[in-house]
Amino acid sequence: MAENKPTQTEVVSEQPLMRLENINMVFKKSNGLLTDKHIHVLKNINLDIKQGEIIALVGESGCGKTTLGRIITGLLQPTSGNIYLDGTKVTGTFKKKITSYNQVQFIQQDSYAALNPVRTIYDSLYAPIKTHNRKWSRAQIDEKIEELMSLIGLQPSSQFLTKYPHQLSGGQRQRILMARAISLDPKLIVADEPVSMIDVSLRLSLLNLMKKLNEQLNMSFVYISHDLSTTRYIAQNGRVAVMYLGEIAELGNIGDVVHQPRHPYTRALIQAVPIPDPDFASYDELPLKSMNLGSLENRTDGCCFYDRCLYSTDECKISVEYQDTPTARVLCRNLGCVPNQPIYKQKQK
Amino acid sequence: MNENIIEFRNVSIDYPLRKYTIRAVTDVTLGIKRGKITALVGESGSGKTTLSSSIIQCISEPGKIASGDIVFFDNVDGEDKKIVVSKFKEKEMKPFRWKRVSMVFQAAQSALNPVMTVEQQFVETLLAHGEDKDKQKQRARCKELLEYVKLDAERVLSSYPHELSGGMKQRVMIAFSLLLNPDLIILDEPTTALDVITQSYIFNLLKQINREKNISMILMTHDISVVAKFADYVGVMYGGRLVEYGKVNDIFRKRRHPYTEGLINATPSIIGDIDKLKPIEGSPPDLMNLPKGCIFSPRCPYAQEVCVGEEPSEICLEDGSKGRCYFFKERDNGRK
Ligand SMILES: Nc1ncnc2c1ncn2[C@@H]1O[C@H](COP(=O)(O)OP(=O)(O)O)[C@@H](O)[C@H]1O
Ligand SMILES: Nc1ncnc2c1ncn2[C@@H]1O[C@H](COP(=O)(O)OP(=O)(O)O)[C@@H](O)[C@H]1O
Ligand code: SF4
Ligand SMILES: [Mg+2]
Ligand SMILES: [Mg+2]
């Protein structure tokens, strides 16, 4: 993993913006019977989020991305584990100290559900700014709103501010959510599948907007997605955590992970991604034993990918630990047996 | 034998609403090649579902074919038989639907009846089409198909839809579409709600069905990557128009229509140069308020004066490709 190296002009502190330490999330599902089912949705998540970085959480649906995103934002209390924001422990305290969590904003997937349908866009933007800056005059807030609208590229703003959510397109609503999130000057934004419901031709400009906010305002982003192609686009210089059944299977720079995936699951995942070029069409079988996702119930200390893995040995059933490779941190004990050649010879540059 | 199994001939389709009428499909002429996979690609609202579902008269209410014909070419003992299916009465369409052309609808998740087991639904369809009433034979047929799509047949037959995962339900729907041995299957965004690993399995399966059973397919998708991987031919739809049609390889190399070029350039990939990607400016067309001339002109980086006058008509090239752009013939962005 690339370490933050101090440059001549600025000294990058060693301290991450946010540190997640051994986060576990267990949901109880009562099924009407005597025993409740326990669903271990997140298991021993350790992750540092650095100031100004874009880090992506990718994985199949149900692997715990949204749950982790909500925990990062303080919307959900983990069952166990600690969270540090700027070095200060915030787990367990955020109910009282909500303001510290203004520094972390969540943008949810469904932009329609996220906005109040009977409020104009102006009102939806005004309210949180007012709450956040009690002393500001209306003129000051209006100025701030104008600045935000220009930043997110909805101009002239008067055309949009008087409208209601249903009068805007999905892409425009996502931009409004982006504006509302940055209006509180957060240090970190968690964006949950922000482009999955957006038309292809509009996706790129929305991703570009996030890249711009990241660069201009030095805001960190956690980009949640099931789509590795958009992830590679937005997190070009950032890191990716590939999640499988509530664990981080592989963590590394996105370029490395996509080019030369090391975890057996990541290798299958990358190979499954269709490439927009018929020269790459292939019907090779994926390197997996089964196409069925495992279960979150009855977890063991062993590797949760065991059932589907082509390289498993009996020991994998008993325990599994992270191994550091030159490019990534990988939750697999048999890396020596897992192929390490690139999936595609990169045609870049 | 006619190389097409279906031909759309100048088909326009309207949704007459109370206050106004939406023209969802405008003057589409398109041949679907027998034994091949033809993709229809376009963003939401471009008319893919409306066009395809018109083949089996399943356009959602109050949609109607406003003009044009849909022709099905049957092949009886080596003789071509031309059937104008768009003129069918419901009585004639009923035996045609599922038996000759079946459709896997978008949101297959909800296409299954929640209070019936998979077996009950399969059997009901077999009976409705006057197939063999022998219970043993019916069950054997269902089992064979479910195993063909790599499902645990015994378990799935006795399951209710909610007991199956999304990927399993989609495979049940694909097995269902094969039930009466159709000549053509229409697949409406068959993997949109599924994960890439499941998607990959489903496409391998569909390709296998296409090759082994020689079933023609129409695949609707908004994802040009899926087209590249899966289809032989592709029609690109924009605002209810078929703006470009050709072989998949040619379309990707030549990118004659500026919208097709824009789509390819706007699609991120896990390989290749990120800096070359760029979005299509502007927003998709509003069918109730279409621009003058070429409906892509407000977003087109190549638009000239002629483009905002009359709407361009189709330009057909010798290699079978065609498109609606004034410069379709000259434009050839052949890759170096
Ligand atoms: N409040 C909850 N109660 C019980 N189970 C939940 C709850 N929220 C999420 N889950 C379960 O946790 C798992 C992970 O969900 P989620 O975080 O939404 O995954 P993703 O966003 O990766 O699709 C799923 O199995 C889901 O059903
Ligand atoms: N039942 C309906 N009533 C009115 N308009 C409809 C109906 N179904 C589709 N439309 C309109 O027709 C256009 C094309 O829709 P559709 O064929 O579903 O496109 P696609 O499948 O490409 O997303 C859209 O503008 C849509 O709003
Ligand atoms: S006709 Fe003109 S505006 Fe339309 S796509 Fe071609 S160049 Fe662009
Ligand atoms: Mg989610
Ligand atoms: Mg559709």
Model confidence pLDDT, tens digit, residues B74-119: 977 778 899 999 999 999 998 899 889 999 987 655 678 888 999 9
Q: How does residue A33 score in pLDDT terms, banded at 50, 70 and 90?
A: low
User: CATH second-level architecture of B4-100+182-323?
Assistant: 3-Layer(aba) Sandwich (3.40)
Q: Which of A199, A233, A348 has the CB atom closest to B268's CB atom?
A: A233
Domain A18-93+103-108+225-337: CATH superfamily is P-loop containing nucleotide triphosphate hydrolases (3.40.50.300)
- Return d(Cα B220, Cα B39) in angstroms, integer: 6
Distance B187 CA to ligand 5 centre (A): 10
What was the pLDDT predicted at B332?
81
- Return d(Cα B209, Cα B174) in angstroms, integer: 10
- Return d(Cα B316, Cα B324) in angstroms, integer: 9
- Domain layout of chain A by residue ranges: 18-93+103-108+225-337
Number of alpha carbons in the 13 Å side-chain half-sphere of residue A247: 25
Q: Which residues pair with B14 in a beta bridge?
A: B23, B64
**SS3 call for A265:** helix
| pLDDT tens figures, A115-160 | 999 999 999 999 999 988 889 999 999 999 999 998 888 888 988 9
The secondary structure of B250-271 as a DSSP string is HHHHH--SHHHHHHHHT---SS
The edge-to-edge listing of strands for the beta sheet with A188-192 is A104-107, A188-192, A220-225, A54-58, A239-244, A247-253, A328-331, A322-324
| pLDDT tens figures, B5-59 | 999 999 999 999 999 999 999 999 999 999 999 999 999 899 999 999 999 999 9
Q: Cis bond leading into B298, ω under 30°?
A: no
The secondary structure of B269-305 as a DSSP string is -SSS-GGG--PPPS----TTSPPSSSTTGGG-TT--G
Who lines ligand 1 at CB under 6 A?
A 27, 29, 39, 41, 59, 61-67, 296
What was the pLDDT predicted at B102?
94
Cβ distance of B43 and A201 shorter than 8 Å: yes
CA distances (Å), B43 to each of A170, A200, A234, B121, B240, in order?
13, 7, 22, 32, 10
Q: Which residues pair with B31 in a beta bridge?
A: B7
What was the pLDDT predicted at A348?
45
Average pLDDT over residues B226-250: 97
Distance from B182 to chain A by nearest Cα, in Å? 24
Of the candidates A156, A187, A225, the one whose C-alpha atom is nearest the C-alpha of residue A87 is: A187
Q: What is the pTM of this model?
A: 0.90
* pLDDT tops 70 at residue A1: no
Name all contacts of B208-211 with Cβ < 8 Å and 24+ positions apart.
Answer: B209/B148, B209/B174, B209/B178, B209/B185, B210/B35, B210/B36, B210/B37
- Domain layout of chain B by residue ranges: 4-100+182-323, 113-181
Q: Which two tokens stand for residue B328?
A: 């379709």
| pLDDT tens figures, B50-65 | 999 999 999 999 999 9
Would you mind telling me the total number of residues written for chain B in this entry? 336
Residue B49: CB within 6 Å of ligand 2?
yes
- Return d(Cα A316, Cα A259) in angstroms, integer: 26
Does this complex have an ipTM over 0.95? no
Residues within 5 Å of ion ligand 4 by Cβ? A 66
Residue B187 and residue B243 in contact, taking contact as beta carbons nearer than 8 Å? no
* pLDDT tops 90 at residue A189: yes
Q: Which two tokens stand for residue A199?
A: 């038309």
